[in-house]
Structures are given as structure tokens and as C-alpha cells.
Structure 1
Amino acid sequence: MTDFNATRPLFSLPHGVTYLDGNSLGPLPVAAQDRMAACLRDEWGEMLITGWNKAGWMDQPRALGDRIGRLIGAAPGTTVVGDTLSIKVYQALASALELRPDRRVILSDSGNFPTDLYMAEGLVRSLDQGHRIETPAPEDVAAQIDAIGDDLAVLMLTEVDYRTGRRHDMPALIRAAHEVGALVIWDLAHSAGAFAVDVSDTDADFAVGCTYKYLNGGPGAPAFIYVAPRLADQVQPALSGWLGHDAPFAFDPDYRPGPGIDRMRVGTPPVLQMAALEAALDIWDQVDMDALRTRSVELCERFIEGVEATCPDLTLASPRDAAMRGSQVSFRFDHGYAAMQALIARGVIGDFRAPDIMRFGFTPLYIDEGDVDRAIATLADIMAHRLWDRPEYHARAAVT
């Protein structure tokens, strides 16, 4: 079991702030400050370029990948860290399409995070081979798999809807896709660190995810990619960067993919960001994922009950069944942006997604019942007295 009273002090949270936005950007792990300072001072500062060998910078993407692998049910040597999530989506999709050359349909859903669809659109356009992307409603994906049948090349889904928190039944969808011969890309952006995931037992083909949300790696923290062992030596990376080469420092004029997951590396590793992520994963090494999930559900249920009892103008947008939700709760309100700005001004930080979604993330590592109750009371006061209806709360900022 995990002692969540012991994990809370491991994060740097401003006094008086209730932080319910870890599903968008996790807070700073206290240890990351010293770890990054040491990397700057003792490694970059003292070792200079020799840090790639002496400090192990070049090996960190695999080492950190294995630590994330523990949280997603991946065997050692099948996950690597680096680049951005958009890059990893592109890599996975390009590789999957090449493995299914006679098929033309990429199936996603209308609730997928837009960047995944943008990357797919760009790839389809550049390939110019007649591929098409289908995006039915999330609840219709299973039926669409059967309808497309043997023309389905890739099923590409984000397990948890970034707006509502609705959770796909990924094991069932993976089985259905495999039955028609398709490959599956599983985006874990809102799953990794929110609940237990098992890419091995579910026989996932590819999985990708970011580390700056629930994993607390910091803004701009590198993404990760998993490739099933049965495919790792078959994939031919479309983004054939020098660090995915079999011998990067041989500087061969022609690309030769590295073994297994190494070929999914692209550019130079972000050393300072990996230092912060390393400190964050030290916390995750002591977390029991089943205990985390149980606690997350308790906090979410408490929040839903309290908001529905005190804020009749808000409508639950997330599934009521906890098994169908990630670790976030969303409510709809026509003036949701303004109401969220009013909340933030009073020290309760969530976020907003157009057109009307107020999102709240619940991470038991640093959120407890007191935080939930404060958030409910603050939101109830704002709604009861229309405190959101002030000009400053309606002015849109660049990031919502």
C-alpha cells in the first residue's frame, strides 16, 4: 500500500492553492530542484561534453523508458523516452501503416486529442497513397472496426478523452482490431500515472504518452514510446534520426536502424528535462497503482457528489460510472471559461476546454479530501453569487 500522506510533501505546491490540474501539468517534485541543479552544476558545468559518457546522458532514454515501462506493464527494453508526444504518434502511425501496406483506413474517434489527428492528417497527405481517417463517436468505435473489416490498417485511440475523462475499453478494442488484422496505437497521455495500464497483457502493438501530466516530469518533459517485442525489429522508422541508427557515432552516410526499441529514438536527448523526470520517477517507484486508483475514485466520487449537491447550473460531462472514467472529472457550463478563471483567482486551479468543459484532475499523490472539499465550497460560492460574471474573467488568455 502507498502512504499518500507521505507522498504529498514530496511536491512543491504554493501555499493556499488547491491544484486540480495535474492532468494537464503535474506540479514540481521537490527533489527535482536539487537534481536539476546538480545536473547543471556537476554534470554540464564540470563534465562538459564528457557528460554524455561520464554522467550517462546517452543511456538515460532507455533507463527512464524502463522505469515508465513498469507503470504501463511493458517488459524491460521495450520503451524509450525522447522527443515530443506528437513525434511519437507520427513514428508509431508511420511504422504501423508500413506494416499494413495493403490497407487504407486509420480509425480514431471524434474525441481524440486533436494533435494525434493532425499528425495523422499530415502523414496521410505526405504518403498520398489513398489512406483515409475515420473518426466516429467514441461509443461507436467497436462497431466501426467490424464495419471496416480487412481494410482497417490502424486503430489509433487515446484511452481517456481529454475533455470528459471518458475511458475506452482498450483491451476489448485491441482484441477486436486484431481479429480483423489491424494494428493498434494506444495513446496513454491521460492514463500513465492515473491508473494501472498493461500493454503486455492486452497485446498492444504500440503505445505512446507524455510525462508532464500525471508523471510530473515538468513542462516540455519528453514523451515515451512502446513497441511490442514481436514488432520491434520489424518497424522501419519514418523519422530515421541519427540516434535511432545502429551506430550513431560511425556517421555512416546511410541509415541502418538500431536494434529493437532503440530505432525509435530520433534526436538528441533533452538532458535537463530528463533530470527532472528522473526525480519524479523516484516518487513513482514507491507507488502501488491499485491503491492509487482506489484513492482516485474516492476523491472523484466525493467531488461529483459535492458539486451536484451545491451547483445545479453545472452538468456532469464525465461518465457517472467510475470504471468508465480516468482520473479527472468534467462539468459543463455555458460560461465555463469565466467560472474557471474565477476559481483560479481564488486558489483552486483546474482548466477549461472549449466549448464549455470545466476540467478537474485528481492525483492522490498530493490531493486529499480537504482539497476536494475546498474546491467544492469555492465553486459553490462562485456559482451561487455569480462571481464568475466579471469582465476580467471573460477575457481569454492564450492558454485555457
Structure 2
Amino acid sequence: MTDFALTRAAFDRPAGVIYLDGNSLGAMPRAAAARVEHTIRAEWGERLIRAWNEAGWMAQPPRVGDRIGRLIGAPAGSVVVGDTLSIKVYQALAAALAMRPDRRVVLSDSGNFPTDLYIAQGLLDTLGQGHELRVVAPEAVAQAITDDVAVTLLTEVDYRTGRLHDMAALTARAHAAGALAIWDLAHSAGAIPVDVAGAKADFAVGCTYKYLNGGPGAPAFIYVSPEHVDAAQPALAGWMGHEKPFAFDPDYRPGAGIERMRVGTPPVIALAALEAALDVWDGVDMADVRAASIRLSERFIDSVESAGPTLVLASPRDPAARGSQVSFRHPDAYAIMAALIARGVIGDVRAPDILRFGFTPLYLTEEEVVQGAVILAEIMRTEAWRDPRFQARQAVT
């Protein structure tokens, strides 16, 4: 049984703030600052370049990868951390396409995060082999998996509405059609139970700064099924993915297993913060997290809707059909969220009209959720969001 009182005590949050945006940037673990300071002062400062060996910097990416692997149902040695999510999407898609050279369609959906679609289109344009990025509505994905599809590229949880794809069912359908399946777990890892091995996913990628609380710009991860890892060719052949990086050979030879998916030099300081964040997950059961998340989100929906019909639920009504977030629609979503943030309740907005709220049981209480809903209802009742100061848009929404 997960002790959420213990996990809440592991986070450092500002007083007077109800934080409902952990689905965009997780809260800071108390231990992160000390861990980063140790890396800077004791390792970098004292050991200098010797720390690559003496402090284990070189082994961080697979070591941290295994810790994330526990949370997404991946076997040891199948996940590595480093670079950005965009790079990991590129790696996974390029490798998968090379494994299906006779097919030309990448299937995705309109609820996918735009970066994934941009990366896919850019890669297909670069290949210049007549590939097509076919984008359908989320609910139409299953029927769109036809025998000309090479790869499905899907985000398990829709970043706007929280709609949840059935990973196992869609992966099985892809395999039945002869396609490979790539899953983006940006809104899944640390939010819902994930079992990439059980679902037979071919590749999975994800970021670590949302529900995993690794900090702004924290590095991404990639999973490659053990079935494919020795065949997957890294399109981005960086020196850290070489069989022997310090041999400095002029020709590239991919490293063994998941090591070949390393690209650039590990972001050591960022990885130190991520390791501190992952310490909080030791002893946490994802089934407990899921149950608590559903309780919190259901209480929030009930509280918001009981105040009146002003906001329209954009997320699936059934909690089993959504991730760990709830979205509402309103034409003036931006101003409403700005007014809410001014009152100390932090969520975010996704264009054109979605107010988004994340539920993170590791540090969020039911009392906070109810109070956040009360403040939102008051803003809607008084139309406080009409104040001109809430109309001016900032760079980050």
C-alpha cells in the first residue's frame, strides 16, 4: 500500500498554491536541490573530469532507464535515458520504418502531440521515398490500421482531453496487419499503470518532467522491445551509441542492445535531479496511484459541474477511459485560467478552448482538489475572468 502522506512530504511546494499542472511540469522533490548541488560541488567541482568514471556519470542513462522501466512494465536493459523526446520519437520512428521497408504509411491521430507529427513529417520528407503521414480521429485509429501501414505512432493519453488509447488492443491490431507500434508515454509514465512488455509494444518514448517530476527540460527515455533491439538501427548515430565510444573509430558500429539508442553526452546535472525524483517512486504502487488519481479527478468533476453548466467536460466521462487529467471547454479558456492562476490555482490551457487540470496523487490532496474547484466556480459565477488583465496572453500557456 502506497503511503501518500510520505510521498507528499517528499515534495517542496509553495504555500498558498493549489497545483493542478503536474501533467505539464511536475512539482520539485525536496531532495532534488541537494542532489544537484552534490553533483555540482562534490562531483564536478572536486573530481572534475574524473567524475565520469568515479561518480558513475557514464552509466547514468541505462541506470536511470531501468528505474523508469519499472514504472512502465519494461524489462531491465530495455530503456535508456538522454536527449529530448523529439529526438527519441525520431529514433524510434526511423528504426521502425527501416524494419518495414516495403510499406509507406505512418498512422497517427489528430489528438497526438504536434511535435510527434512534426517529427514524423520531417523524417518522411527527408527520406524522400513517398511515405505518407496518415492522421485520423482518435476514435478512428483501429479501423485505419490497414495492411499498407508500416508504423502506428500514437500517444497513449491525449494531451488535450486525456482520452486514453487501449495500448494492448491497438498494438495487437497493428501486429495483425503487419505493422509496428510506437507509443508516446509523455502523459502516461507516472500517471497510469503501463505495461509495454505485456502489451507487446515495439517502441515507446516519453519525457520525465511531467508526472515523473524530473524538472524543466529533464531528459527523455526510449524503450525498444528486446525482440527488436539488436535489429533496430539508430538513425542518429551519435558517439555515445557507438560500440566503443572512446575508440574514436571513423566508422560507426552500434552498441549492444539499448545502448545503441544513446546519442549525445548525458546531461549529468539534469539526470541527478531526475534520480532524486525517482527516489520518491521507490515503494510506490502504480495501481494505488491510479486509484487515487481517479478519486481526485472524479471529485473535481463533481465539484465543478455541481456549480453550474458553464464549463463543458472535454474529457471522457468514464474515468477508465482517460488518463490522470481532466479538461473542460470554454470559449474564454485562456482568461478563465489566468484568473484562476491569480487566485493561486494553477492549471493550464490548450488552444483553442481547453482548460486542463492534472491529478498527481504523490503530492496532491482531496482537500486541495475541492478547494480548487470552489475557486473555479466562484470565478465563473462572478465572471472575474472578464477583467482586462486576464486577457493579455503570455508566451507559455
Q: TM-score range by the shorter chain?
A: over 0.9
Q: CA deviation at 1:285?
A: 1.4
Counting only pairs closer than 5 Å after superposition, residues 57-72 of structure 1 correspond to structure 2 as: 57-72=57-72
Find the counterpart in structure 2 of residue 47 from structure 1. 47
Find the counterpart in structure 2 of residue 323 from structure 1. 320
Q: Deviations over 1:120-160 (max 9, x none)?
A: 00000000000001111000000011xx32x1100010000
Find the counterpart in structure 2 of residue 95 from structure 1. 95
1:281 aligns with 2:278: yes
Counting only pairs closer than 5 Å after superposition, residues 79-158 of structure 1 correspond to structure 2 as: 79-145=79-145, 148-149=146-147, 151-158=148-155
C-alpha separation in 1, matches of 2:281 and 2:4: 12
Question: Aligned partner of 1:184: which letter?
Answer: A
Counting only pairs closer than 5 Å after superposition, residues 261-272 of structure 1 correspond to structure 2 as: 261-272=258-269
Find the counterpart in structure 2 of residue 344 from structure 1. 341
1:306 aligns with 2:288: no
Runs of 5+ consecutive residues of structure 1 not aligned to the other structure: none
1:397 aligns with 2:391: no
1:363 to 355, 360, 365: 360
1:257 aligns with 2:264: no
**Paired residue secondary structure (1:135):** strand
**Paired residue secondary structure (1:329):** strand
1:375 aligns with 2:384: no
C-alpha separation in 2, matches of 1:387 and 1:286: 43
Find the counterpart in structure 2 of residue 38 from structure 1. 38
**Paired residue secondary structure (1:232):** coil
Question: Aligned partner of 1:97: which letter?
Answer: L
2:217 to 186, 199, 220: 220
Question: Aligned partner of 2:102: which letter?
Answer: D
Question: Aligned partner of 2:94: which letter?
Answer: A
C-alpha separation in 2, matches of 1:135 and 1:254: 38
**Paired residue secondary structure (2:183):** strand
Question: Aligned partner of 2:288: which letter?
Answer: A
**Paired residue secondary structure (1:298):** helix
Question: Aligned partner of 1:355: which letter?
Answer: P
Q: CA deviation at 1:290?
A: 0.5
Q: CA deviation at 1:61?
A: 0.2
Q: CA deviation at 1:286?
A: 1.8
Counting only pairs closer than 5 Å after superposition, residues 13-24 of structure 1 correspond to structure 2 as: 13-24=13-24
1:76 aligns with 2:73: no
Find the counterpart in structure 1 of residue 177 from structure 2. 180
Q: Deviations over 1:274-310 (max 9, x none)?
A: 0000000000112111011000000000000110111
C-alpha separation in 2, matches of 1:41 and 1:311: 54
C-alpha separation in 2, matches of 1:189 and 1:361: 13
Question: Aligned partner of 1:105: which letter?
Answer: V
Question: Number of paired residues?
Answer: 397
C-alpha separation in 2, matches of 1:20 and 1:349: 5
**Paired residue secondary structure (2:228):** helix
C-alpha separation in 2, matches of 1:74 and 1:380: 42
1:12 aligns with 2:9: no
Q: CA deviation at 1:5?
A: 1.3
C-alpha separation in 1, matches of 2:132 and 2:234: 21
**Paired residue secondary structure (1:139):** helix
**Paired residue secondary structure (1:106):** strand
Q: CA deviation at 1:311?
A: 3.7
Q: CA deviation at 1:381?
A: 0.7
C-alpha separation in 2, matches of 1:285 and 1:156: 31
Normalised to the residue count of structure 2, the TM-score between the two structures is 0.99
C-alpha separation in 2, matches of 1:292 and 1:311: 29
C-alpha separation in 1, matches of 2:347 and 2:9: 21
Find the counterpart in structure 2 of residue 29 from structure 1. 29
Q: CA deviation at 1:383?
A: 0.3
Counting only pairs closer than 5 Å after superposition, residues 156-167 of structure 1 correspond to structure 2 as: 156-167=153-164
Question: Aligned partner of 1:103: which letter?
Answer: R
**Cα RMSD for the two superposed structures:** 0.5
Question: Aligned partner of 1:356: which letter?
Answer: D
C-alpha separation in 1, matches of 2:301 and 2:370: 11
Runs of 5+ consecutive residues of structure 2 not aligned to the other structure: none
Q: CA deviation at 1:6?
A: 1.4
C-alpha separation in 1, matches of 2:7 and 2:124: 44
Find the counterpart in structure 2 of residue 56 from structure 1. 56
**Paired residue secondary structure (1:372):** helix
What fraction of aligned residue pairs are identical, expressed as a percent?
67
